[in-house]
């Protein structure tokens, strides 16, 4: 987070209020904490918007990458190929790949794979689902494809990964 001194002081004061409320016995403590936290998030978001306006509007390339990242976050279970995202964004897969590579230093396929692996890791660590259930839940039709994909990305099988995280 990059904040001006006044903004940092304001957020620090808000965090202190949140901290103090946490340790105050009160019937409505949870609701008050939720409200404080929501207020804190909105305040931070407004600071970021001000910073965004002072830095200028994002370029068309940055906007395309932002839209692509949003699509990946929301559609990684259904769409696994760059061409599917490019079609949704009305650009060619080459244009999408070049733009993502230029802006982020990674290919579009790498970003999709990272999202899939990130979700797979979460499910392997935080659920007791077996490997095939994890595979199906993140959009793989065959558990063997998931295992192969995971091992290629992480250099260990999903089972080995799960055991290593215990």
Q: What is the reported pLDDT for 39?
A: 85
Whether the Cβ atoms of residue 68 and residue 114 lie closer than 8 Å to each other: no
The architecture (CATH level 2) of 112-164 comes to Orthogonal Bundle (1.10)
- Mean pLDDT, the chain, as a whole number? 87
Q: Which uninterrupted H or E stretch holds 71?
A: helix 60-75
- Give the single-character DSSP code of 98: H
Q: What is the reported pLDDT for 111?
A: 93
Can you tell me whether residue 79 is helix, strand or coil? Answer: coil
Q: Kindly report the pTM of this predicted structure.
A: 0.66
CA-CA distance, 158 to 164, in Å (whole number)?
A: 10
Domain residue ranges in the chain: 5-54, 61-106, 112-164
CA-CA distance, 76 to 86, in Å (whole number)?
A: 13
pLDDT in tens, 119-159: 999 999 999 999 999 999 999 999 999 999 999 999 999 99
């Amino acid at each position: 987070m990059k904040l001006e001194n006044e903004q940092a002081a304001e957020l620090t004061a808000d965090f202190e209020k949140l901290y103090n409320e946490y340790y105050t016995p009160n019937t409505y403590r949870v609701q008050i904490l939720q409200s404080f936290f929501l207020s804190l998030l909105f305040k931070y978001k407004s600071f970021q918007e001000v910073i965004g306006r002072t830095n200028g509007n994002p370029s068309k390339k940055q906007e395309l990458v932002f839209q692509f990242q949003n699509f990946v976050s929301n559609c990684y279970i259904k769409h696994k190929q760059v061409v599917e995202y490019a079609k949704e964004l009305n650009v060619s897969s080459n244009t999408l790949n070049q733009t993502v590579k230029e802006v982020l230093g990674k290919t579009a396929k790498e970003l999709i794979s990272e999202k899939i692996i990130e979700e797979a890791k979460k499910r392997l660590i935080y659920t007791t689902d077996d490997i095939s259930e994890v595979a199906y839940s993140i959009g793989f039709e065959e558990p063997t494809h998931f295992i192969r994909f995971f091992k290629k990305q992480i250099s260990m099988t999903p089972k080995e990964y799960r055991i290593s995280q215990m």
